[in-house]
Amino acid sequence: MRFKIDKFVIAILIVIVVAYLFPSLGSKESTIPFDTIGSIGISLIFFFYGLKLSPDKIRSGLKNWKLHLLVQLTTFLFFPLLVIAFKPLINTEDTQTLWLSFLFLAALPSTVSSSVVMVSIAKGNIPAAIFNASISGLIGIVVTPLWIGLFLTQTTTDYNIQSIYISLITQILLPVILGIILQRFWGKFALKYSKQLTLFDKSIILLIIYKSFAESFAEDLFGSVKATDLLLLFAIVIALFYMVYFITGFISKKLHFNSEDKITAQFCGTKKSLVHGTVFADILFPSSMSIGFILLPLMVFHAAQIFIVSIIATRLAKRENILE
């Protein structure tokens, strides 16, 4: 069985290497206005996201409420609670920051494109996947800051939930709403040039990742990270993924979901959005914290989820009875 390495994952690795070799271009002293470019790019990303959201599809998708409820509870409740369960083991400042980065990963919404693609390959419930992945992004604007705020306020004094929501509303929610309003006029345009818009999204995310890691490398914030620590981080990410995957599958069986709905629940419930993660990290976390370090588990998870789910989806697609 042959698997293609995701090109976006390769691009992320290349950007991190470039940030390591040329950290000064993205450092806080750089003359290049990365913050301004990133802010405008973020608003455009979510404007185009709104253009792709069809109100009719959202309304029709509400019928399968048990599946939707399970996916959203998995995304925003089960996932964070699994990470919170390990908080009593955290007893140093370094491990506290690492734990917060995992909580941030766990509290993020699901990703849209890869969720739908993988569900399609595995012959799952595609309309439900589109609905849940789309709604997840909107719910995350409200829920993700709440989870982070519960614990970040304990370690930093400059966490202002009010200013955070103002930033989320102006940079993300308002562009999404504007996109939804204009969807009837420009929706076909967004669908026609979907590949180009996706390329734009990824370009902005790569720019934000470069800036985050360039600042971290410039300040030598990764100097204490050992190879064994990275291996441990990778192992934790894989364990977290499979825990959520099997819990979602178990609940799906108890709810007597058919095979298509179970696939959708497991695939959408285990996905986390790198797009939302890179955007939210810059807004939610204070400047005193390393955004590159905060994003590290998320980027490892992003690569792992694509690889693992692609294997599972390919195997499911080749079976006559997709699931027992």
- The 3-state secondary structure of the chain, one letter per residue: CCCCCCHHHHHHHHHHHHHHHCHHHHCCCCCCCHHHHHHHHHHHHHHHHHHHCCHHHHHHHCCCHHHHHHHHHHHHHHHHHHHHCCHHHCCCHHHHHHHHHHHHHHHCCCCCHHHHHHHHHCCCCHHHHHHHHHHHHHHHHHHHHHHHHHHHCCCCCCCCHHHHHHHHHHHHHHHHHHHHHCHHHHHHHHHHCHHHHHHHHHHHHHHHHHHHHHHHHHCCCCCCCCHHHHHHHHHHHHHHHHHHHHHHHHHHHHCCCCHHHHHHHHHHHCCCCHHHHHHHHHHHCCCCCCHHHHHHHHHHHHHHHHHHHHHHHHHHHCCCCCCC
The reported pLDDT for the residue numbered 83 is 93
Distance CA 146, CA 107 (A): 9
Q: Which letter, b or e, does each residue of 250-276 get, where b requires 16 or more Cβ atoms within 10 Å of its Cβ?
A: ebbeeeebebbbbbbbbbbbbbbbbbb
pLDDT band (50, 70, 90) for residue 112: low
The reported pLDDT for the residue numbered 103 is 93
Distance CA 9, CA 46 (A): 21
Candidate from 21-25, 41-45, 54-58, 79-83 with smallest mean pLDDT: 54-58
- pLDDT of 114 strictly over 70: no
pLDDT tens for residues 156-212?
A: 545 566 777 787 788 778 888 898 889 888 888 888 888 888 888 888 888 888 887
Distance CA 110, CA 84 (A): 19
Distance CA 156, CA 158 (A): 6
Candidate from 91-100, 102-111, 141-150 with smallest mean pLDDT: 91-100
- Could you tell me which of 107, 147, 112 has the C-alpha nearest to residue 297? 107
Inter-axis angle of helices 93-107 and 291-317, to 10 degrees?
40
Percent of the chain with pLDDT over 90: 17
- pLDDT of 2 strictly over 80: no
pLDDT band (50, 70, 90) for residue 1: very low
Mean pLDDT of the chain: 81
- Could you tell me which of 218, 215, 211, 294 has the C-alpha nearest to residue 42? 211
Query: Regarding predicted confidence, which is higher, 213 or 141?
Result: 141
Q: Which residues contact 246 (CB under 8 A, 6 or more apart)?
A: none
- pLDDT of 115 strictly over 90: no
Distance CA 138, CA 46 (A): 10
- pLDDT of 154 strictly over 60: no
- pLDDT of 323 strictly over 50: no
The reported pLDDT for the residue numbered 243 is 93
Which segment, 113-127, 131-145, 245-259, is predicted with the most confidence on average? 245-259
- Could you tell me which of 302, 322, 298 has the C-alpha nearest to residue 105? 298
Query: Regarding predicted confidence, which is higher, 6 or 4?
Result: 6
- pLDDT of 3 strictly over 60: no
Report the predicted TM-score, pTM, of the whole model to 2 decimal places: 0.76
Query: Regarding predicted confidence, which is higher, 118 or 141?
Result: 141
